[in-house]
């Protein structure tokens, strides 16, 4: 039998009591293995089975309020944004109303959200641009969306997916972590992970893949303590540090 470290011996002791343990490889940074096509298909089949119609968690009532909510969610939680937006959207659910509300009022209404000063400026700026260049409507292309103040590739991808039904992949912190940790789509930056996921995920799952992965990262594959014991793809995941539940013995 192979020699095990003191840490591993402790983990085994825990496992014998039926507790979940994280099994780390001998080399802390062992290379994560790639997934086969069949494994990827199986992972997304399970995500679909578990949640056939996944939904984003940012409250919105139309493409404009979705766009504003996504802009507000940069470096903030959806829950935090959802606390502030009902009052904002009650007053302004169109670019016209938002522009009329003005930057000071918007800033006041979103002051519980991080970076609220810059975000208020961007929300007013994008409202004016939508009115001036897009007839007050949210454009349906990545290029036009990314020209709006405060709108980057990720925000554009979310709007394209949720508002217009494009099979885009918006890589946030959760998806970036999952792509790299599990080996599903390793990449050094969000764009690399996005492209790797677009390449790897079967087309039939692309429309909902972004939501499945975000929800998986938010509720299961957590940053500090992934809940591998509850994970529907635990057997497929390639992360060498994943937790496995060992039977008492």
User: What residues act catalytically?
Assistant: 154, 172
The nearest distance, CB 248 to ligand SF4, in angstroms, is 21
Region from 27-35, 99-107, 114-122, 223-231 binding ligand SF4, contact rule CB under 6 A: 223-231
Region from 22-30, 82-90, 203-211, 222-230 binding ligand SF4, contact rule CB under 6 A: 222-230
208 and 50 Cβ atoms separated by less than 8 Å: no
The nearest distance, CB 150 to ligand SF4, in angstroms, is 31
Count of beta carbons in the 10 Å neighbourhood of residue 183: 19
Task: Give the residue from 131, 60, 65 showing the smallest Cα distance to 100.
Answer: 131
Residue partners of 32: CB distance under 8 A and separation at least 6? 180, 181, 182, 183, 186, 238, 239, 240
Residue 201 interacts with ligand SF4 (CB under 6 A): yes or no: no
249 and 91 Cβ atoms separated by less than 8 Å: no
Q: Which is nearer to ligand SF4, 2 or 28 (CB)?
A: 28
Q: Which is nearer to ligand SF4, 22 or 83 (CB)?
A: 22
Region from 10-18, 58-66, 105-113, 218-226 binding ligand SF4, contact rule CB under 6 A: 218-226
The nearest distance, CB 6 to ligand SF4, in angstroms, is 24
Q: Which is nearer to ligand SF4, 146 or 220 (CB)?
A: 220
Q: What is the DSSP string of 30-76?
A: PPPPPPPHHHHHHHHHHHHHH-SS----S--SSHHHHHHHHHHTTTS
Task: Give the residue from 186, 181, 217, 184 showing the smallest Cα distance to 22.
Answer: 181
Q: How big, in percent rounded to 5, are the helix, strand and coil portions of the chain?
A: 55, 0, 40
Cα–Cα distance measured from residue 199 to residue 184, given in angstroms and rounded to the nearest whole number: 11
Region from 81-89, 122-130, 193-201, 224-232 binding ligand SF4, contact rule CB under 6 A: 224-232
- Binding to ligand SF4 (CB under 6 A) within 128-187 occurs at 181-182
244: β partners = 21
The nearest distance, CB 79 to ligand SF4, in angstroms, is 21
Q: Which is nearer to ligand SF4, 104 or 235 (CB)?
A: 235
Q: Which is nearer to ligand SF4, 129 or 216 (CB)?
A: 216
Interface mask (CB under 6 A) for ligand SF4, residues 226-245, using x and -? xxx--x-xx--x-x--x---
179 and 171 Cβ atoms separated by less than 8 Å: yes
Cα–Cα distance measured from residue 84 to residue 36, given in angstroms and rounded to the nearest whole number: 43
Q: Which is nearer to ligand SF4, 119 or 181 (CB)?
A: 181
Which residues in this chain contact ligand SF4 in the complex, by CB under 6 A? Answer: 181-182, 220-221, 226-228, 231, 233-234, 237, 239, 242
């Amino acid at each position: 039998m192979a020699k095990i470290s003191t840490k591993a011996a402790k983990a085994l002791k825990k496992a014998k009591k039926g507790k979940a343990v994280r099994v780390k490889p001998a080399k802390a940074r062992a290379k994560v293995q790639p997934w086969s096509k069949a494994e990827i298909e199986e992972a997304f089949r399970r995500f679909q089975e578990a949640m056939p119609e996944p939904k984003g968690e940012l409250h919105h009532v139309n493409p404009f309020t979705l766009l504003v909510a996504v802009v507000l969610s940069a470096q903030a939680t959806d829950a935090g944004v959802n606390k502030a937006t009902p009052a904002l959207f009650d007053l302004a659910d169109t670019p016209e109303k938002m522009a009329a509300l003005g930057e000071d009022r918007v800033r006041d209404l979103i002051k519980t959200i991080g970076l609220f000063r810059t975000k208020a400026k961007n929300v007013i700026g994008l409202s004016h641009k939508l009115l001036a260049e897009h007839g007050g409507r949210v454009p349906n292309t990545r290029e036009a969306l990314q020209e709006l103040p405060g709108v980057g590739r990720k925000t554009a991808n979310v709007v394209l997916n949720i508002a217009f039904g494009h099979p885009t992949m918006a890589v946030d912190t959760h998806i970036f972590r999952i792509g790299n940790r599990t080996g599903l789509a390793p990449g050094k930056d969000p764009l690399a992970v996005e492209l790797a996921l677009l390449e790897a995920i079967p087309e039939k799952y692309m429309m909902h893949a972004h939501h499945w992965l975000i929800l998986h990262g938010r509720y299961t594959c957590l940053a500090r303590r992934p809940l591998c014991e509850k994970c529907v793809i635990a057997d497929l995941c390639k992360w060498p540090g994943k937790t496995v539940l060992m039977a008492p013995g």
